Amino acid sequence: MEKYALYVPRLVTKEEIFAPGHRACIGCGEALAVRLVCKALGRDVIIASATGCMEIVSSQLPYTSWQVPWIHTLFENTAAVASGIEAALKVMSKKGKRPARDTKVVAFAGDGGTSDIGLQALSGAMERGHDFLYVCFDNEAYMNTGIQRSSSTPFGAATTTSPAGKMSIGQTSWKKNMPAIAVAHNIPYVATACPSYPFDLMAKVARGLATPGPAYIHVLSVCPTGWRCPPDLTVRMGRLAVETGIFPLYEVENGKYWLSDDSSALRPVTDYMKLQGRFRHLSEDVVEEIQRRVKTEYAGLRRKARRRHHEDG
Amino acid sequence: MTKPENMMTWKDLEIGSIVTEPGNASQYQTGAWRSQRPIHDFTKCIKCGLCYLFCPEGCIGQNAEGYFEADLFYCKGCGICARECWTRAIKMVEEEE
Amino acid sequence: MADKVGIEVSVAIGDAVKLARADVVAAYPITPQTHIVEHLAELVASGELDAAYIPVESEHSAMSACLGAAATGARVFTATAGQGLELMHEVVYVASSMQLPMVMTVANRALSAPLSVWGDHSDVMSVRDVGWIQIFTENGQEVVDNVLCAFRIAEDRRVLLPVMVHLDGFHLSHMIEPILFPEQAEVDRFLPPNQYPFPLDTAKPVTMGAFAPPVIYSETKKAQEVNIRASQEVIIECWREFGDAFGRYYSPVEGYHSEDARVLLLTMGSFSETAMTAIDRMRDDGKSVGLVRLRLWRPFPFEEIRRAVKEAEVLIVVDRALSFGGPGGPVCSEVRSALYGEAKRPKVVSFVGGLGGRDISLDGFEAIVSRGMEIAETGSEREFEMFGVRE
Ligand SMILES: Cc1ncc(C[n+]2csc(CCOP(=O)(O)OP(=O)(O)O)c2C)c(N)n1
Ligand code: SF4
Ligand code: SF4
Ligand code: SF4
Ligand SMILES: [Mg+2]
């Protein structure tokens, strides 16, 4: 799907809006995702960020990696903070108290800050219809506090609070379908993305940003530290998540599903799982069960979705 | 230059501890974390820029001849660039002590 | 200046916020605060107040939306009570630590369990140390005046802190009272536009809410503490200028027949009104009693309190909240520590009463005074006494 144009730099802004000097782990896929998302956002944005890895690594006093206005307050309230910013900007420019620039409001949070503790605030903000883009960086656990499970942790994965043991296979629940929850709010734009597909990711961010009303993008972000995989495999791992059908890339525009890529021949999930320490303890039966589930869900998605051919490619 | 944190007094802080110098983290050297470094073989490089695109640190840039090269002040040595380069123009080598 | 109008105090607060030309109101309904936010929603819907009203899904989000709005430089208002204040607690602490100016009225309410929608100061005490400026009011006029002052204090370049204006739930929030509203032009003269110095703005990007390792956290807290202490001067200056403009003067500690009294009562909030009437009655009976009303709860006015009570022999503090297993009345604890180092100081007696909407009547205050004098004479085995509880 990603037709890498030969001269990438011509297509992507050279500006590093997420400045180097951040303290993310070596090979962090979440930092890569933030960096690419920021390139697509450009400079005319205000970012509200949740507590989590990306906040901690980017804003240790007296330093900041942010080149754009950025605010962090707490873990679970990012969508509400963004609501306040958006409402204020609107009324202030209407009252002539701020220049009528078209500054966009963006919220950043991890999977914990989104699908667990921040779900209520996000639901409220989507329901009220604020004009903002919410980006969830999903590394499938609470990484900042030391790899504890979240509702976004995949079935079978070992984390520090869903450890594998004689009596446990690790995480015993299936990953919460956060994009579907966003879709259920009838918002105009929802998408999944992954930095291993940088052009797709950036195009979706640009679309989400341009959409009036709430937009939600769920970005799979490989975490070598928490997934226990070699840091040089970060980009490859994201690709495998997509090619196995574990993390399909799609968009939902006004309720209509579009597959960003259609792999009728999915790779076996083991191609992905065998490279990660968090799945290493799983028996063949469990892997088989995961394989079946992935196939069923992918087939369900294909039934709902159409293949998209964007003019811009 | 930002005053280092261990020199800052409470009077040096802006109200609400706001940081008013955007992107000043670029003064912070993350290259010291590295145990491996990328070596670019320019004879193999086709200047496609993929390494630049996939570097989590955003520390790969073009030199005067247009070749892509890592800024070792920031490079953490993750090896993603080497792994993703199509032409295998990048090799990771151990940092010497 | 217009004539006095009879109006429910909650509605009057909405009108004061309108006079202050607030930009953003984010709030979640809770008894006894509901009439405040309903009226504001109405004012925005009718176009009388040109503001964004954000009907958030919780108090946690109400305060969070206020943070975001204040960070853009907007003039921000919210209101809550009891459980609502508890739910927003985490965010309330952030507002002051990030020095984001805003105004919140709290219609003071008891805390669950058991559930009680009625008034006391338990909610106030749970946010005692969060770093907000906190002002207590006794009647509708004081609330209106202090909401206007609160915006000016909060947004003052020398302060930049959020301000809570407390009013007793039901006892004050639901009263219909004659209130004098200043003209819009007068308010505009008194309250300049908000000029928050570091708004979120792409023209000048700032990073707000950065993370502090141990090497710098203490410095951030010291800066905050110095700032709130210094705000007292600005608060007093604001009250003086408000008085000069509108003829009603306020100060951190206010006395009522307190200068020459042998025995002093100390109260906070609307109970002071009943206490004053009780003082009149006791004075008529020839007793040397007076009243000290604490208006500024944070920053705590140590010097003013010392000055106000130093000539008295007995000081009886009536609290409307408990500190379970602790020293009894929270206000009394503060007063005791303010006086501890003084060579000449009254004996301090602590009462807790008026919990969960229970009234303290005129007779009640008289009973408190005589029991207080008894305790001062003979001493007591208890740290404090609860008033009006059936044994
Ligand atoms: C109210 C509250 N509860 C718990 C925490 C501790 N905490 C901080 S970040 C975090 C996990 C973050 O996980 P996620 O949102 O997935 O982001 P990640 O660090 O994985 O990027 C937790 C549990 C907190 N800061 N606040
Ligand atoms: S723990 Fe994972 S997500 Fe967090 S900084 Fe490290 S690699 Fe990135
Ligand atoms: S990826 Fe390889 S070929 Fe492409 S620019 Fe980088 S070093 Fe050169
Ligand atoms: S090794 Fe990693 S950090 Fe260093 S230049 Fe390559 S991708 Fe960037
Ligand atoms: Mg996470």
A230 Cα to chain C: minimum distance (Å): 28
Closest residue CA from atom 2 of ligand 2: A223
Is pLDDT above 90 for C204? yes
Interchain contact, C210 vs B19, CB within 8 Å: yes
- Alpha-carbon gap, residue C219 to B13, rounded angstroms: 8
**From ligand 5's centre to the CA of A139, what distance in Å?**
4
Contact C220 B13 (CB under 8 A): yes
User: CB count, 10 Å around CB of B32?
Assistant: 9
Average pLDDT over all residues of chain B: 96
Q: Name the closest residue on chain C to residue A57, using Cα atoms.
A: C211
CB spacing of A128 vs C61 below 8 angstroms:
no
Residue A281 counted as domain residue: yes
Domain span including residue A82:
2-307
Q: Which residue type does A274 have?
A: K
Rounded-to-integer distance, Cα A45 and Cα A54, Å: 17
Residue A60 is given by DSSP the state B
Cα-atom radius of gyration of chain A, to the nearest Å? 19
If you take atom 6 of ligand 4, which residue's CA is the nearest one?
B81
Span A219-229, average pLDDT: 98
Smallest Cα distance from C207 to chain A, Å? 5
Residue C250: helix, strand or coil by DSSP? coil
User: What is the pLDDT, as a whole number, of residue A10?
Assistant: 65
Q: Is residue A195 lining ligand 1, measured as CB closer than 6 Å?
A: no
According to DSSP, the residues that pair with B37 across neighbouring strands are B93
Q: Which of B35, B51, B59, B90 to mutate to test the pocket of ligand 4 (most atoms within 8 A of CB)?
A: B59
Query: Which of A18, A23, A236 faces B58 most closely, judged by CB atoms?
Result: A18
Find the A111 Cα to ligand 1 centroid distance in Å. Answer: 9
Sheet containing C314-319: order of strands:
C253-256, C289-294, C263-267, C314-319, C347-352, C385-386
For residue A98, the distance in angstroms to the closest alpha carbon of chain C comes to 9
Quick one: average pLDDT of C342-353?
97
The answer to whether the CB atoms of B5 and C213 lie below 8 A apart is yes
Residue A59: pLDDT above 60? yes
Interface of C with B in 287-346 (CB under 8 A): none
Q: Which of C197, C206, C216 sits opposite B8 (nearest CB)?
A: C216
Cα of B34 to ligand 2 centre, how many Å? 16
Residue C75 confidence (pLDDT) above 90? yes
In degrees rounded to 5, what are phi and psi of residue C353?
Answer: -160, 180
Smallest Cα–Cα separation from A8: which of A47, A36, A42? A36
Please tell me if residue C46 touches chain A, with a CB cutoff of 8 Å. no
Least distant ligand from the CA of A58:
2
Average pLDDT for C333-344: 97
Confidence of residue C361 (pLDDT cuts 50, 70, 90): very high
Among C98, C99, C215, the residue with its CB nearest the CB of B6 is C215
Confidence category of residue A311, pLDDT binned at 50, 70, 90 = very low
> pTM of the predicted model, to two decimals?
0.97
Q: Using the mean position of ligand 2's atoms as its centre, give its distance from the Cα of residue C153 in Å.
A: 43
Can you tell me the mean pLDDT for A167-185? 98
Ligand 2 atom at minimum distance from A53 CA: 4
CATH number at residue A301: 3.40.50.970
* Chain C residue numbers touching A81 (CB-CB < 8 A): 64-65, 67-68
Distance between Cα B37 and ligand 2 center (Å): 20
How would residue C301 be classed by pLDDT, with cut points 50, 70 and 90?
Answer: very high
**E-assigned strand segments in C109-188:** 133-136, 163-168, 176-180
Q: What band does B97 get if pLDDT is binned at 50, 70 and 90?
A: low
The ligand with the least distance to the CA atom of A221 is: 2
From the alpha carbon of B68, which atom of ligand 3 is closest?
5
Question: What ipTM did this prediction achieve?
Answer: 0.97
pLDDT exceeds 50 at position A273: yes
Cβ of A223 less than 6 Å from ligand 2: yes
Q: From 3.30.70.20, 2.70.98.10, 3.40.50.300, 2.40.160.40, which CATH number describes the B31-92 domain?
A: 3.30.70.20
Helices (H), chain C: 9-19, 34-45, 59-71, 82-87, 89-97, 122-126, 140-155, 184-190, 214-246, 271-284, 302-309, 330-339, 362-378
Res C380: pLDDT: 86
pLDDT for A101 equals 77
Q: Which residue in chain B is spatially nearest to C196 when comparing CA positions? A: B15
Q: Which residues of C touch B9 (CB under 8 A)?
A: 219
Distance from Cα A102 to the centre of ligand 3, integer Å: 37
Question: B10 and C215 in contact by Cβ < 8 A?
Answer: no
- Domains identified in chain A, total number: 1
CB contact under 8 A, A64 and B83: no
For residue A313, tell me if it sits in a domain. Answer: no
Compute how many other C-beta atoms are within 10 angstroms of the C-beta atom of residue A1.
Answer: 13
* Domain contains A312: no
Query: Could you read off the pLDDT of C110-128 as tens digits, one per residue?
Result: 999 999 999 999 999 999 9
Q: Is residue A307 scored above 90 in pLDDT?
A: no
pLDDT per residue as tens digits for the range A79-103:
999 999 999 999 999 999 998 778 9
At C152, phi and psi to the nearest 5?
A: -65, -40
Q: Rounded mean pLDDT of chain A?
A: 95
Is the bond preceding C199 in cis, omega lying within 30 degrees of 0?
no
Q: Which atom of ligand 4 is nearest to the CA of B55?
A: 7
SS3 C182: coil
φ, ψ of residue A272 in degrees (nearest 5): -85, -50
Asked if residue A105 lies in contact with residue A85, where contact means CB atoms within 8 angstroms, the answer is yes
Confidence band of A312 (pLDDT split at 50, 70, 90): very low
What percent of chain C is predicted at pLDDT more than 70?
Answer: 99
Q: What is the pLDDT of residue A2?
A: 57
The pick from A140, A143, A276 for probing ligand 2's pocket by mutation, whose C-beta has the most ligand atoms within 8 angstroms, reads A143
Return residues 97-156 of A near B (CB < 8 Å). Answer: none
Closest residue of A to B56, CA-based? A32
| Residue A138 Cα: closest atom of ligand 1 | 16
* C-beta of A111 in contact with ligand 1 (< 6 A): yes
User: Do the domain assignments include residue A29?
Assistant: yes
**For the segment C129-169, what is each residue's pLDDT rounded down to a tens digit?**
999 999 999 999 999 999 999 999 999 999 999 999 999 99
- CA separation for the pair C267, C295 (Å, rounded): 9
Residue A1 has pLDDT above 50, yes or no: no
Q: How far is the CA of A49 from the centre of ligand 5 (A)?
A: 13
Q: How far is A176 from chain B (nearest CA, A)?
A: 27
Cβ distance of C198 and B14 shorter than 8 Å: yes
* CB A234 near ligand 2, within 6 Å: no
- Residue of the CA atom closest to atom 3 of ligand 2: A223
Question: For residue B89, what pLDDT is reported?
Answer: 98
Q: Which domains does chain C have, with CATH numbers?
A: 4-246 (3.40.50.970), 253-386 (3.40.50.920)
Give C222-274 pLDDT, tens digit per residue: 999 999 999 999 999 999 999 999 999 999 999 999 999 999 999 999 999 99
Tokens 């290259």 correspond to what residue? B31
Phi, psi of A271 (to 5 degrees): -55, -35
Q: Kindly list the residues from chain A whose CB atom is less than 8 angstroms away from the CB atom of residue B13.
A: 62
What is the arithmetic mean of pLDDT over C192-219? Answer: 97
Question: Residue C53's closest chain A neighbor by CA?
Answer: A87
The pLDDT of residue A11 is 78
The whole-number average pLDDT for the span B56-60 is: 98
Running DSSP on this structure, what letter comes out for residue C287?
A: -
pLDDT given for residue A313 in this prediction: 38
* Chain-chain contact of A8 with B78 (C-beta, under 8 angstroms): no
Q: Is C112 in the B-facing interface, judged by CB distances under 8 Å? A: no
- Residue C340: exposed, middle, or buried by beta-carbon count in 10 A (0-12, 13-18, 19+)? exposed
Ligand 4 site residues (CB inside 6 A) read B 38, 55, 57, 59-60, 70, 75-81
Do residues A185 and A123 make contact, with C-beta atoms less than 8 angstroms apart?
A: yes
> What is the average pLDDT score of chain C?
97
Whether C310 and C258 have beta carbons less than 8 Å apart is answered as no
Using the beta-carbon criterion (under 8 Å), do A7 and B62 form an inter-chain contact? no
* Residue labelled with tokens 């969508």: A79
